[in-house]
Amino acid sequence: MTATAPAGEALWSRCGGCATLLYRKRLRRNLDVCPECGRHTRLAAPERVRQLVDPSSFQPLPDGAVEVDPIGFVDVLPYPHRLTAARADTGLPEAVLCGTATIGRIRCALAVMDFRFLGGSLGCAVGELITRTAEQALDAGLPLILVTASGGARMQEGALSLMQMATVSQAIAALREAGLLTVSVLTDPTYGGVAASFATCTDLVLAESGARMGFAGPRVIRQVTGRNLPEGFQTAEFLLRHGQVDMVVPRHALRARLVALLAAAGGGRRAAVRSGVPARPSAASRPAGRPPDPPPVEAETPRDAWETVRLARHLRRPTTLDYLETAFDGFTELHGDRLGGDCPAVVGGLARLDGRHLMVIGHQKGHTNAELMARNFGMATPAGHRKALRLMRLAARLGLPVVTLVDTPGADPGIDAEEHGQAAAIAENILALSVLPTPVVAVVTGEGGSGGALALAVADRVLMLQHAVYSVISPEGCAAILWPGRTAAPQAARALRLTAPDLCRLGIVDEVVPEPAGSAADDLEASARAVREAVLANLLPLLDVPVATLVQHRRRRFRRFGAARAVVRAGAR
């Protein structure tokens, strides 16, 4: 199937996937996606722009492409002849269409590659056009969206085409340093120098359904290795499983997803400062300083510590995804650590809360044995910690606050985790959170187990649900080390002082969030309301605190735990 419908073309087209004969007008109405098998046809850059941006909003770059033939390359034809033919065939001056537009009324800079033009290859003119677009975005304080479709660097321009990988990547780095969102949309195909540079060094990487991406193409890999490739190799779904992209999006949902991401980036502190529009109510409209006193926890007979442990582990207890669906107003999940993994025990992404955009990251367990196994029982691997770290740093660049939901028996203790640097991954998270230049609120919703919990809980405010637990070691582990056997776990639970009231008295937890009668497992909606209210009450005052003060107070908060007398006094209180 061809991507566009020029005048005089046939009325029917045969799908390259399922071989179904399709009426072209129907195919156009379906955004050039086969209605029978879902195959996404390659789009020309002008058609892609029409599908994504608001009508009549696209303004091309004021300067066109510069014609270059830097090395006088000739194969069967001189290089200038090939350029002339490509321009005649596509109606474009080069392999990328650049400009500014609005998407969902949000202004952005846009660079859309066109595979029809010499395979979407990256040459000096293409690199210059994309770099100018990024510079225009920087000058105007706009997010940048790149839609890639390329076979790689343009061979006809020699090493100069290779240099464009660095040139464009530097321009994207400047946007990231300025706190401006950069988004790459991988379409089919994206290979070579484009894949190894600006297509994958943006803040967010989306892949359109059916897209393929990699450094070397499948044919080259087979020739070099002599091996058969796994099913679905380098496809969008393969990339998602291996932590290389944040999400896979079908074409009909791509525009809406971009609108949501752009809106989230526009809600950050830095974006608000650039535009001169306050991102949130001023301090005068709400109490400054410390959060208001939390609602009193409903009086009841104190539960035994071991009973609390069992409640914290209850299969029906709400998970992070449950809270994201109920306590927050919207959630867009982001995937992958960009190093080859996407740990299912950690979920994170952009969310909204009372009209404010934020980054939410949490451990994910499940409600059935199958779900628990699929999520590794909420025990994060190094890939999970690195995914969380990537999202924290992205939030800081965009000026978004971070909310973490802690529910893990501990970090993954497996051999693979050790081989991939589990200790270093946890240490890096703790270090990064200690100096993260954006507000952080942590909520222990179930189990807070050891360093795996602390990796998400170095925060300005640490909250804890009434029947959650937070401990240096599990009661069973403590009993195995210090008592004759695991049967002493209930005794160890009492000795560890791991309940919310205990930790509040020690000053480790700032507030206990009340649970409904019974426990959170008995009423998801009531638990979600309590978490929502507690997060808002603790987050809002932090939003007006200068970054330097915020980080200083956070570091002091954790420094005081090193002073034995202070801890003893806190315990006495």
Q: What is the pLDDT of residues 418-471, one digit of tens each?
A: 667 776 778 788 878 888 899 999 999 999 888 888 889 888 999 999 999 988
Measure the CA–CA gap between 359 and 162, rounded to whole angstroms. 36
Q: What is the DSSP letter of 381?
A: -
Distance between the two ends of the chain, CA-based, in angstroms?
74
* Residue 110 backbone phi and psi in degrees, to 5: -140, 135
Q: Classify the phi-psi angles of 118: left when phi > 0, otherwise alpha if psi is within -120 to 50, otherwise beta.
A: left
- pTM, full prediction: 0.74
**76 is written with which tokens?**
């069967």
- pLDDT computed for residue 180 by the predictor: 92
Measure the CA–CA gap between 262 and 55, rounded to whole angstroms. 18
Measure the CA–CA gap between 184 and 131, rounded to whole angstroms. 14
CA distances from 62 to 58, 137, 418, 491, 571 (A): 12, 14, 53, 74, 67
Element (H, E) at 254: helix 251-266
Measure the CA–CA gap between 35 and 39, rounded to whole angstroms. 8
Low-confidence ranges of the chain (pLDDT < 70): 1-9, 65, 224, 267-302, 415, 418-419, 423, 485-486, 559-573
Sequence letter at residue 74: V
Measure the CA–CA gap between 470 and 498, rounded to whole angstroms. 5
How many other CB atoms are there within 10 angstroms of residue 119's CB atom? 19
- pLDDT computed for residue 9 by the predictor: 59
- pLDDT computed for residue 311 by the predictor: 93
- pLDDT computed for residue 52 by the predictor: 96
Residue whose C-alpha is closest to residue 357's, from 272, 459, 455, 276: 272
Per-residue model confidence as pLDDT tens digits over 547-573:
989 888 887 777 666 544 344 444 444
- pLDDT computed for residue 129 by the predictor: 93
- pLDDT computed for residue 44 by the predictor: 94
Measure the CA–CA gap between 78 and 248, rounded to whole angstroms. 40
- pLDDT computed for residue 273 by the predictor: 41
Measure the CA–CA gap between 543 and 538, rounded to whole angstroms. 10
Q: Do 42-266 and 303-572 come out as alike in CATH topology? A: yes
Measure the CA–CA gap between 32 and 188, rounded to whole angstroms. 13
Q: How do the domains of the chain map onto residue ranges?
A: 1-41, 42-266, 303-572
Check: CB of residue 464 under 8 Å from CB of residue 312.
no
Measure the CA–CA gap between 437 and 192, rounded to whole angstroms. 35
- pLDDT computed for residue 559 by the predictor: 62
Measure the CA–CA gap between 125 and 222, rounded to whole angstroms. 32
Measure the CA–CA gap between 279 and 525, rounded to whole angstroms. 29
Interhelix angle 124-140/158-177, rounded to 10 degrees, is 10
**347 is written with which tokens?**
């979920």
Domain 42-266: what homologous superfamily?
2-enoyl-CoA Hydratase; Chain A, domain 1 (3.90.226.10)
- pLDDT computed for residue 537 by the predictor: 93
* Residue 249 backbone phi and psi in degrees, to 5: -125, 125
What does the CA dihedral 243, 323, 399, 551 come to, rounded to 10 degrees? -100
Check: CB of residue 445 under 8 Å from CB of residue 500.
no
Residues 303-572, CATH architecture: Alpha-Beta Complex (3.90)
- pLDDT computed for residue 284 by the predictor: 37
- pLDDT computed for residue 294 by the predictor: 52
